Structure 1
């Protein structure tokens, strides 16, 4: 049989993931899809065995360097060692051989490492169907990821809402309970300050609840500005607030903080064409009063100190003293500020 000139371009439509090598094993042509895995110029003119490591099941035929007519397992010798599967066949009249690797690459590798698409495979190649499945899976995973992110965001928002006073934006009693429990478990020293607004009821009675809401929102701003990021402010009642000062137990420091808060509370709050005037009474306790601090006991003792401030004329701060407040509310001198 006379030899003929073999034009491999005719095979591109059927086997874009292929190469042609001569009987000496030297690559003479590289299909366009295979060239996306490694540049064609890096393969043409080189022996197939220099580009790939090749093994078969021992059933190959022929004397060529590459076993023919059997399944081959290949890996690139350099770069990403992508596993490939293929089969080589001879075209005796042209004295060349074709190594077809179509559907011989993992679709996951094809997409992840080389960004191959459906256009890189023959129209009848099953790889296209697999690509569609991979793309569909990727789309589902991405949608699931976004859904999980939205659910997590909704969960965080719901948890934040559950721990937040809607009117003032401060923490609520539930949040305060969690913070107190955590701090007590960690044995961190802290002060608990109970603030009750003075003359707030008269604002509600004379100007209405809208004015009272405006006052409460201003109080929240003041308390937020007078505390640090690792402190906590919670609204625990209509006009009651609890402040937790992390790692502050010095009484002089706490009196100073309380005085500054009361002074700011006594500044008039503009509302429509009038002004709202309030003050605040404060009771304080600290963890250093107790061998084993307990949240309920500390809140109770801060209440006792608060009652002393009310008893002595309001607009004052009192630090709890276990020797004085044991049944003798009102006998401990309170610090008067602002009035």
Structure 2
């Protein structure tokens, strides 16, 4: 895209002609497509420069599509009228960046894949999980002093005071010492599979939180405390795919990443529709892929000599 065309994006309006000419690649993302009065909207942009292939960010201070992600471009306020250098993405030779709702991905000139944020695998940050106390018959309610009764929900017995209706839970606060806890995954715009039957969980309201819950198994989706990553583990990291492939291109939807390989395959990683995938898309027509693009829950492929194939929001995941 010519730099004069880039100027049409208000998020890039503060850049000089020289800065725009130095941009090799620009990816704009976010929830609002026009500026909000006095706020500058929620758009962000990540830009790769020519030569050194450094990465700069501008706009709403988030490395992913969600405005609530703890993963920021840099500590501080938003950068709507200035650029900030993303040190973690510099020096690795990125040539393309794509951004989903809770994750981002980059492809290097050596066809190496980097991913940051929560996904496309199911990775649960501390803010996306909540702890409840395991039922203890001798434990006393911290509010009224009565003994806890038990609440049976989703395959677990939890402490609950039926006198004052208090159900102790810990999301951002620290639990008291010596209390046995269970940590559950909060429902948050991503599809999470049941640990027992692997079907996609629904949502169940428990103690003020919407939790991932399998109706068929009557089971809340639990996660070990040690499996919950810290903020630093959401930072950009090099990914080794489960199958040996040479990557040609990448795209992403809301919660999934698509990898196009040199041997004419599409590898889908993440969730879309109501299913979670980590596999190759079926191609029964042996269509030769020319280009691809993604919507929120949708993949479109243009083949040679020009046929259009689509898939998404289904359970078969095949072209055609």
TM-score normalised by the shorter chain: which range applies? Answer: under 0.3
Higher strand share: 2
TM-score by length of 2: 0.19
Q: Which has the larger radius of gyration?
A: 1
With the length of structure 1 as denominator, give the TM-score of the two structures: 0.18
